[in-house]
Structure 1
Amino acid sequence: MAYNIKNSKELASLINYTNLNNIITESEMKEFLNKAKEMNFNSVVVSPTYVSLAKKILEGTDIKVGSVIGFPLGFEDTESKIASAKSLNEKGVDEFEVVLNISYLKDEKYDLLENEIRQIKEVIGDKILKVVIETKALEDYEKANAAKVAENSGADYVKTATGFVSPNHIFENVNDINIIQKYAPKIKIEIFGGITNYKFANQILTGGADIIGSDQGYEIVKRYKDLRENTQVTPKPITL
């Protein structure tokens, strides 16, 4: 059964429109944020550099501002990640994405991982915390353990990739979703990486993801809108 999207507004609300390009100029970021403003996205995800600009441009909209901690490798020490979380919180970030320390995961240092995530969650309070786990670099049992760590630590979401190495086949993505749902049933799931069109987005949502991250969010929603909502028909009056 396909996921039943009712309209482009609902589709946009299931997408975190992302731009973590590290060589982007301010004028290009303004263009990205103004495009985001046209749609009903759940959030934009930008680098810490552009959080203040995003808050300013998106003021008065329902679009949340997300940003990243320890991106993209996750190997900063815990103190640095906590300091980053505090700084982003002060800037008004709504959704925080922390990249998991994969070295700790590979070494099964679950107490260090849980301690790190828990402390970040304490800093941000009721705001959304996502743990990015980079599934393409993990064995299935490691994905399961990473998801359990995230859930045990009070995180709200597991996000499957930074986008640098990510599954881009639906079967890989659904396998990741199945593992996370089985071993961390309370946590929500965001799939990121390689989602460039409505068909793939729909497959991911049908497969059980709660939300999608995509740097092609605007194009996905616009194409859907053009296809589904811009058909103009003037019926002739019916005479009996």
Structure 2
Amino acid sequence: MVYNIKNSKQLASLINYTNLNNIITESEMREFLEKAKELNFHSVVVSPTYVCLAKEELKDTDIKVGSVIGFPLGFEDTPSKVAEAKALLDKGVDEFEVVLNLSHLKDEKYELLEDEIRQMKEAVGDKLLKVIVETKALEDYQIANASKVAEKSGADYVKTSTGFVSPNHIFENVNIINIIQKHAPKIKIEISGGVDDYKFANQILTAGSDIVGSDQGYEIVKAYKELRENTQVTPKPITLTKKD
């Protein structure tokens, strides 16, 4: 089965275009946001530093602005993460991505994780909350438990990577998707990290990811757009009657 992407506009709507570069300049961020506007992605994901700029630059578009909490290690205490969430909410963030505390996960302190995610969800209200679980650092059973915790606590998505370490093979990602769907069937999935071309993005979506996170979103959509719009096939003339 191949995911039925009809055009480049639909493909862009399935990508969260990401730039969490910690040394990016303001002018470079503006260039990134212009690219986002050109192709109209589902969202951009930027650091808290650039949330206000993103909101201003994208105010006349439908593009959502996402940002990160406890990024990239997730080991801050819960009050600190909640404070980050509230600060981002005040800046107008639409989608919140919080890194799970992997120490608590590995120690199987599920009540602490559930309490943190519930507090985060309460803080952001009806805005989207994603829990980044950094799957590359986990065993399969830990991915399953992290997903169950996220679903039980009211998160909207499980996101598979911060982008610093990520599964780079389609079969690894398919395995992760299968685990999440089995153990947390109601939660949505965002595969992130290592998705750098259209073929891989299409495979990820076909495998069951609801959306893709990528810092190569612009390149992915432009390549697909060029393929679809610049490849012309002139059919040979045919007749519907048999020649004598």
Deviations, residues 172-228 of structure 1 (Å, cap 9, x unaligned): 000000000000000000000111100000000011100000000000000100110
Q: Which runs of 5+ in 2 are unaligned?
A: 239-244
Q: Name the structure 2 match of 1:18.
A: 18
Instruction: Give the Cα–Cα distance (whole angstroms) in 2 for the partners of residues 64 and 178 of structure 1.
Output: 28
Q: Name the structure 2 match of 1:207.
A: 207
Instruction: Give the Cα–Cα distance (whole angstroms) in 2 for the partners of residues 228 and 200 of structure 1.
Output: 17
Q: Name the structure 1 match of 2:141.
A: 141
Deviations, residues 24-52 of structure 1 (Å, cap 9, x unaligned): 00000000000000012110000000000
1:160-239 correspondence runs (5 A): 160-231=160-231
**Is 1:30 the equivalent of 2:30?**
yes
Deviation at 1:140, TM superposition (A): 0.5
Instruction: Give the Cα–Cα distance (whole angstroms) in 2 for the partners of residues 232 and 180 of structure 1.
Output: 40
Q: Residue type matched to 2:211 in 1?
A: I
Instruction: Give the Cα–Cα distance (whole angstroms) in 2 for the partners of residues 125 and 201 of structure 1.
Output: 30
Instruction: Give the Cα–Cα distance (whole angstroms) in 2 for the partners of residues 160 and 233 of structure 1.
Output: 39
Instruction: Give the Cα–Cα distance (whole angstroms) in 2 for the partners of residues 62 and 174 of structure 1.
Output: 30
Q: Name the structure 1 match of 2:39.
A: 39
Q: Residue type matched to 2:96 in 1?
A: F
Structure 1 length-normalised TM: 0.96
Q: 1:162 to 1:223 in 2, by over 3 A?
A: same
Q: Name the structure 2 match of 1:104.
A: 104
Instruction: Give the Cα–Cα distance (whole angstroms) in 1 for the partners of residues 55 and 79 of structure 2.
Output: 26
SS at match of 2:230: coil
Q: Name the structure 2 match of 1:84.
A: 84
SS at match of 1:229: helix
Instruction: Give the Cα–Cα distance (whole angstroms) in 2 for the partners of residues 149 and 90 of structure 1.
Output: 27
Runs (4+) off by over 2 Å:
230-235
Q: Which runs of 5+ in 1 are unaligned?
A: none
Instruction: Give the Cα–Cα distance (whole angstroms) in 1 for the partners of residues 188 and 229 of structure 2.
Output: 30
SS at match of 1:167: coil
Deviation at 1:230, TM superposition (A): 3.1
**Range with bigger deviation, 65-74 or 226-235:** 226-235
Structure 2 length-normalised TM: 0.95
Q: Name the structure 1 match of 2:242.
A: none
Instruction: Give the Cα–Cα distance (whole angstroms) in 2 for the partners of residues 70 and 7 of structure 1.
Output: 36
Q: Name the structure 1 match of 2:123.
A: 123
Q: CA RMSD in A?
A: 1.6
| Number of aligned residue pairs | 238
Instruction: Give the Cα–Cα distance (whole angstroms) in 2 for the partners of residues 123 and 230 of structure 1.
Output: 47
